[in-house]
Amino acid sequence: MRRIILSTALILAASSVLYADWPMWGGTPSRNMVSSMTGLPTTWDVKTGKNVKWVAELGSQSYGNPTVANGVVMIGTNNEATRDPKQPGDRGVLMAFSEETGEFMWQATFEKLSSGRANDWPYQGIASSPLVMDGVAYFTSNRGQIIAADVQGFHDNDNDGPYKDEKLTGKNDLDIIWIFDMMEEVGAFPHNLSNCSPVVDGDLLFCSTSNGQDESHVNIPSPKAPSLIAVNRTTGKLVWEDNSVGDRILHGQWSTPSVGDIGGVRQVVHAQGDGWVRGYEAQTGKKLWEFDTNPKESLWPKTRNEVISTPVIFENVVYISNGQDPEHGEGVGHAYAIDATKRGDITQSGMIWHFDKIRRSISTAAIKDGLIYLADFSGFLHCLDLKTGKPYWTHDLFAAIWGSPMLINDKVYLGDEDGDVVVVEHSKTFKLVSEQNMGSSVYATAVPANGKLFIMNRNQLYALQEGAQLKK
Ligand SMILES: [Ca+2]
Ligand SMILES: [Ca+2]
């Protein structure tokens, strides 16, 4: 495997850049949906091919978000594009493409769990975005496993280990380094689908177990299983686990953890199945604080929410919105700025602001220049003052929003269920730059990498580049 130092990409990302990878969900461990990349297209046309560099065919439903690193684009989807007849039927699939050409490189396929929709919803595929570090891609399979795999697969003519028991070792197959099975090792019972996009601090990799209810939506089969685990990223062995939630899981656990320095302490921050957000000392797992994102009088499932969006860490403050599974439809939501230097139950003491004009949200925040962008499942994009939470403007996209606003240089990109992607000015005053349709629902977040913009719809991945023209 090729060893590439991640810190290079992070240093580049700090200033205005043309070239930087997007090596994880959110680009960096703090998960702030921003990039200083310049020169990306603000208009394109998938029908005429204007500013389209390449397009790759995915399965029929794609909920993983692209990761771009080491010249490879990885993306989670299902197996309806069956690329290998030896791996037929409904499976979770991670596909890897050449970043430059869009050429298919390799895929990981995982058969569905025999327990069915309770743990592994039919046709939903892999919903994790890989984290790439030192040439290794870490992601969660639909079978509740954390997988460490070689980004170059078998293209390097080397079966990387310790895991060497791959049944398929062709050029298009997955080269596994280790597997941590969260269902076997820590007894997790993922509700509907495991989806965590891992994050790393030092030697530790953090992942949500997606532990939740069974199909009765009452019973929690594994109340003693952790919500959050830390494993050694080299060996794949468990280092610490936390189960602050216990039997209070409202539904599932689909939020993904973030890492950052808060008040001089390296913290991993995770939103959990009881609707609380918790901060831990990253290396030890010691719980430092917890914050309830629901008003005390709220009632599940009408007004009380779980948290599906990812916490964003920015200058000692954690920003989070709550919401529910899209299947539950629209409803009231809440967004908060939380002072994560406080300790204990900080629901009162740590609340900097509370924005209750947001609806249920599964989107993650973008923060820059004293502004915060939030989106909700009812189709609204909100621009607020970062310090006070006071709204500057709200824009109605007229369709459900699953993805997150992505702020690239001075433009905000956001897609919706109708397949429209809007581009708006990064400004206290609303100004629409453009709107283009991608041909089918856009559930993912636009991803900037190395002068290109990656946008996926349900079944296709587009690489957009200024001046490119896709031949039709
Ligand atoms: Ca290899
Ligand atoms: Ca291997």
Name the closest ligand to CA 106.
1
Q: Tens digits of per-residue pLDDT, 5-15?
A: 444 445 444 55
**Whose CA is closest to 199, among 151, 140, 244?**
140
**Whose CA is closest to 129, among 47, 234, 235, 207?**
207
Cα 207 to averaged position of ligand 1 atoms, centre (Å):
24
pLDDT at 426 exceeding the cut of 70:
yes
416 CB-near residues (< 8 Å, 6+ apart): 379, 397, 398, 399, 400, 401, 422, 441, 442
User: What is the chain's alpha carbon radius of gyration, rounded to the nearest angstrom?
Assistant: 20
275 neighbors 244 (Cβ within 8 angstroms) = no
pTM of the model: 0.96
Name the closest ligand to CA 164.
2
Cα 59 to averaged position of ligand 2 atoms, centre (Å):
25
Q: Tens digits of per-residue pLDDT, 104-154?
A: 999 999 999 999 999 999 999 999 999 999 999 999 999 999 999 999 999
pLDDT at 332: 98
Name the closest ligand to CA 136.
1
Cα 133 to averaged position of ligand 2 atoms, centre (Å):
16
Q: Nearest 10 degrees: CA dihedral of 194, 196, 201, 204?
A: 10
Cα 148 to averaged position of ligand 1 atoms, centre (Å):
12
Give percent above pLDDT 70 in the chain. 97
Name the closest ligand to CA 177.
2
183 CB-near residues (< 8 Å, 6+ apart): 119, 143, 144, 145, 189, 190
- Strand locations in 67-188 (E): 67-69, 72-78, 91-98, 104-111, 131-133, 136-140, 145-150, 176-181
Cα 25 to averaged position of ligand 2 atoms, centre (Å):
24
> For 222-245, what is the mean pLDDT?
98
* Separation of first and last alpha carbons in the chain: 36
Cα 227 to averaged position of ligand 1 atoms, centre (Å):
31
Residue 13 phi, psi dihedral angles, 5° rounding: -65, -15
Cα 96 to averaged position of ligand 1 atoms, centre (Å):
14
158 CB-near residues (< 8 Å, 6+ apart): 1, 150, 175
pLDDT at 16: 63
Give percent above pLDDT 90 in the chain. 96
Quick one: three-class SS letters along 58-79? CCCCCCCCCEEECCEEEEEEEC
Name the closest ligand to CA 154.
1
In this structure, is the dihedral angle defined by the CA atoms of residues 231, 61, 409 and 354, taken in order, positive or negative? negative
**Whose CA is closest to 335, among 368, 317, 314, 361?**
361
Query: H or E stretch including 381?
Result: strand 380-385
Surrounding residues of ion ligand 2, Cβ less than 5 A: 159-160, 163, 175-176
Cα 450 to averaged position of ligand 1 atoms, centre (Å):
24
* Residue 137: strand pairing partners: 132, 149
Measured in whole angstroms, the distance separating CA 16 from the mean position of its chain's CA atoms is 24
Surrounding residues of ion ligand 1, Cβ less than 5 A: 150, 156, 158, 160, 175
3-state SS class at 1: coil
Cα 320 to averaged position of ligand 2 atoms, centre (Å):
37
The pLDDT mean for the chain works out to 96
Cα 454 to averaged position of ligand 2 atoms, centre (Å):
29
Neighbours of 317 (CB within 10 A): 22
| Separation between Cα atoms, residue 254 and residue 256, nearest integer Å | 6
Cα 153 to averaged position of ligand 2 atoms, centre (Å):
8
340 neighbors 262 (Cβ within 8 angstroms) = yes
> For 440-452, what is the mean pLDDT?
97
pLDDT at 283: 98
Name the closest ligand to CA 175.
2
Residue 369 phi, psi dihedral angles, 5° rounding: 55, 40
| pLDDT grade for 300, boundaries at 50, 70 and 90 | very high
pLDDT at 450: 97
| pLDDT grade for 472, boundaries at 50, 70 and 90 | confident
